[in-house]
Structure 1
Amino acid sequence: MAGRHPATPRHGLARVLSKAGVCSRTEAANWIRDGRVRVDGRIVRDPEYPLHDGMRRVQVDGLDAAPPPRQYLMLNKPRGLVTSTRDEQGRDTVYRCLEGAPLPWLAPVGRLDKASEGLLLFSNDPQWAFAILDPASGPDKTYHVQVDRLPDAAWLALLEQGTDVEGEHLRAKSVSVLRCGERNAWLEIVLDEGRNRQIRRLLAAFDVGVLRLVRVAIGGLALGTLGKGEWRLLQDSERDALAPATAPVPR
């Protein structure tokens, strides 16, 4: 039938802008409703307006909406910040740490909950982010976790064996003891999958409370000496060791 593209996948306009790394999906929807986005020279106000050919015909504020250069960075997330573009409850988000920086819009690659700290990646390369988060082939994540009990070998083995929690089988790839005090201990826990609040839920299933949780590495990329709330761009070798870039990056 004329005018139809049955073999070509189509996506909503806001999603296309977001996936291209131009802005967040929420921001794209707002731009569209405000009449700032044109398709084929015509203002479109429907965020779900279907596109068959990506960004080729899209303009924002009269300019071609070309994807910005790809960026890849790491942040040492402080405790108390929400990993979200914006928070409905008005809580501070991780974007507070990036305020004023000369960066394009970047999305978090995965999450750390509000009470957790440490290494958090950002990028506007969706395919790279997908590769990082892929449970089948993505890099391991390493955490240092302070718990409210002293561990023994049998209990550590149970964490690696795992248990069913709310219909999910949660487990750690490996667990080791970093140091012990009189009443609590620090563990190093490695995960090879990323489920929502996985470590906290796994430990709670064994009646163990988490006092602090810090992600210290993703694959071979370590948090190192990066200060709390500070960020830096990844080196090309660091980026590609996690997953190859899928688009040209700025020089």
Structure 2
Amino acid sequence: MKNSRRPGTKPAAKSGQRPQRNPAPGPAAKAPAKKPDGQRVTLPRALSKLGYCSRTQAEELIRNGHVAVGGKTITDTEAWIDLATAKISVDGKAVAAETFVYLMLNKPRGLVTTRHDPQGRPTVYDCLKDHDNAHLSPVGRLDKASEGLLLFSNDTQFANALLDPKTHVAKTYHVQIDRLPDAATLEALREGVTHDGEFLSARRVELLREGDRNAWLEIELIEGKNRQIRRMLESLDISTLRLVRVAIGELLLGELEKGAVRALTQEELAALKPQSGGG
């Protein structure tokens, strides 16, 4: 059969193939602005990636003239550098990439989650005296009256991903309350409550066990707002007697003694990183 296609026309595209289109005539497209490659980062980001400090801390160091690149002091917090070749120093001391460290602590009650407390109270770093903790930061917080699983790391990317609400990494708590909860109380906690105009909710609330006058609940959060569980209970006129974080994602507090610190195993870290969006 002769091809009935008219001269000057293109054959129709076969099934499953995209038809080819010629670009519409017009002015040449402008080249997109060149983006920094994978080795070029801002100076605060470089100090963070090297595990020296957080980006916020790095910006303060830079502004105050403590940071030099190639021997030249840099005070511009938006300066870009080549991370692969730049020689960075802080107060004259060279900064090199640190080995990433991942620790877990069973935080005792009465310690504040900060390195230096203006009121002179004991801090979680008192438990890390046997570790080189100069650049370790807590991954999240537990308030003074709370206990349990607290992570420390100098891997800021890992820490930020684990804390990002978008990753939905669950934190599980065992909470002792000052009464025996009825079904309506448990349902109210599951549905969410309002405290000081803010809606607070838990992903899961279960009754663990009851005594004569009080009970233990298991509460799972994915938000992690300030004093969230205590505030949720306060909204129902319930007092928190004890609050213990027992798990972060698949990482369990287990039998770690109060005040004790240990490194995460490779298996534990591998289980946490996919949950946090890490590599």
- Per the alignment, residue 114 of structure 2 pairs with 84
For the residue of structure 1 that corresponds to 2:247, the secondary structure is strand
- Please report how far the alpha carbon of residue 104 of structure 1 lies from its aligned counterpart in structure 2 after TM superposition: 5.4
- Per the alignment, residue 94 of structure 1 pairs with 124
Inter-partner Cα distance in structure 1 for 2:268 and 2:114: 24
Inter-partner Cα distance in structure 1 for 2:215 and 2:99: 44
Per-residue CA deviation, residues 129-178 of structure 1 (Å, 9 max, x unaligned), is 12211223232111010101111111101001011223321011111111
For the residue of structure 2 that corresponds to 1:243, the secondary structure is helix
- For 1:98, give the aligned amino acid: L
Inter-partner Cα distance in structure 2 for 1:10 and 1:207: 50
For the residue of structure 1 that corresponds to 2:219, the secondary structure is strand
Q: Report if the CA contact (8 A) 1:143-1:214 is conserved.
A: yes
- Per the alignment, residue 157 of structure 1 pairs with 187
Inter-partner Cα distance in structure 2 for 1:52 and 1:160: 47
The question of 1:52 aligning with 2:80 is answered yes
Bigger drift between 124-133 and 15-24 goes to 15-24
For the residue of structure 1 that corresponds to 2:166, the secondary structure is coil
Aligned with residue 216 of structure 1, among 220, 228, 246 = 246
Inter-partner Cα distance in structure 2 for 1:16 and 1:72: 20
Aligned with residue 22 of structure 1, among 48, 52, 62 = 52
- Per the alignment, residue 141 of structure 1 pairs with 171
Q: Report if the CA contact (8 A) 2:175-2:216 is conserved.
A: yes
Aligned with residue 212 of structure 2, among 169, 182, 187 = 182
Bigger drift between 218-227 and 96-105 goes to 96-105
Identity of aligned residues (%): 52
The question of 1:172 aligning with 2:218 is answered no
For the residue of structure 2 that corresponds to 1:149, the secondary structure is coil
For the residue of structure 2 that corresponds to 1:119, the secondary structure is strand
Aligned with residue 68 of structure 2, among 38, 43, 49 = 38
Q: Which has the higher contact order (CA 8 A, sep 6+)?
A: 1
For the residue of structure 2 that corresponds to 1:150, the secondary structure is coil
Per-residue CA deviation, residues 51-90 of structure 1 (Å, 9 max, x unaligned), is 2126534213545312211111111011111111222222
TM-score norm. by structure 2 comes to 0.75
Inter-partner Cα distance in structure 2 for 1:73 and 1:241: 15
Q: Report if the CA contact (8 A) 1:116-1:214 is conserved.
A: yes
The question of 1:107 aligning with 2:107 is answered no
For the residue of structure 1 that corresponds to 2:138, the secondary structure is strand
Inter-partner Cα distance in structure 2 for 1:80 and 1:6: 52
Per-residue CA deviation, residues 178-215 of structure 1 (Å, 9 max, x unaligned), is 11111111111111221111000000000000000000
- Per the alignment, residue 159 of structure 2 pairs with 129
Q: Quick one: structure 1 residues 242 and 99, their matched pair in 2 at CA, closer, same or farther if it must change by over 3 Å?
A: same
- For 2:216, give the aligned amino acid: W
Inter-partner Cα distance in structure 2 for 1:26 and 1:90: 22
Q: Report if the CA contact (8 A) 1:125-1:246 is conserved.
A: no
Gapped regions of structure 1 (runs ≥ 5) = none
Q: Report if the CA contact (8 A) 2:42-2:81 is conserved.
A: no
